[in-house]
């Protein structure tokens, strides 16, 4: 089976859902509702998140968007190993998630820092899974000089 980009696999998932409904013989309204439901279900949200992270990875650490989004956090991770950084970001993400839940109860929640930490968490876990410790060190060194470090948070 050949590799297909995540966005293509997402489209195939929607087509399979309609085919399971009855394909060409399914009523148009039922097929449209099935496609809409599939496009906005939990799997689509997870795929969207992963596609956003893949895009940030493709941009690279020199890109202004990446520097603005992760520069401040990368500066705080300087001097840590990949395993230590992963554990620290995991702790930050859990703490931020708790803070978000409390703020949501009072109607004052903002998701930006939680999203940034979620993206950083996935990137670090991917680097760790692929055993790219040396690349992590060079990325952190590149990101430390970020002039836009506090722009995204």
Please give the pLDDT value at position 149. Answer: 45
Higher-confidence residue of 25 and 133: namely: 133
Q: Could you read off the pLDDT of 42-76 as tens digits, one per residue? A: 888 898 999 999 999 999 999 999 999 998 999 99
For residue 29, with 0-12 CB atoms within 10 Å meaning exposed, 13-18 middle and 19 or more buried, which class applies? exposed
> CA–CA separation, 117 vs 73, rounded Å?
9
Query: Whole-number mean pLDDT of the chain?
Result: 86
pTM for the structure as a whole = 0.76
Going from N- to C-terminal start, the domains of the chain cover 61-153
- Can you state the angle between helices 6-21 and 42-59, rounded to 10 degrees? 160
Confidence check: pLDDT of 125 > 90: yes
pLDDT at 151 over 70: no
User: What is the per-residue pLDDT across 69-113, written as a single tens digit (0 to 9) for each?
Assistant: 998 999 999 899 999 999 999 999 999 999 999 999 998 888 999
pLDDT number for residue 89: 97
């Amino acid at each position: 089976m050949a590799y297909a980009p995540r966005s293509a696999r997402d489209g195939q998932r929607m087509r399979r859902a309609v085919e399971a409904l009855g394909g060409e013989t399914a009523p148009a309204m039922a097929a449209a509702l099935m496609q809409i439901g599939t496009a906005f279900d939990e799997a689509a949200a997870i795929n969207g998140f992963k596609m956003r992270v893949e895009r940030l990875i493709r941009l690279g650490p020199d890109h202004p968007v990446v520097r603005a989004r992760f520069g401040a956090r990368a500066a705080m991770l300087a001097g840590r190993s990949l395993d230590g950084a992963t554990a620290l970001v995991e702790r930050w993400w859990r703490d931020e998630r708790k803070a978000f839940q409390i703020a949501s109860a009072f109607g004052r929640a903002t998701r930006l820092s939680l999203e940034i930490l979620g993206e950083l968490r996935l990137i670090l876990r991917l680097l760790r899974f692929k055993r790219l410790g040396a690349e992590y060190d060079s990325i952190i060194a590149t990101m430390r000089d970020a002039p836009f470090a506090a722009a995204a948070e």
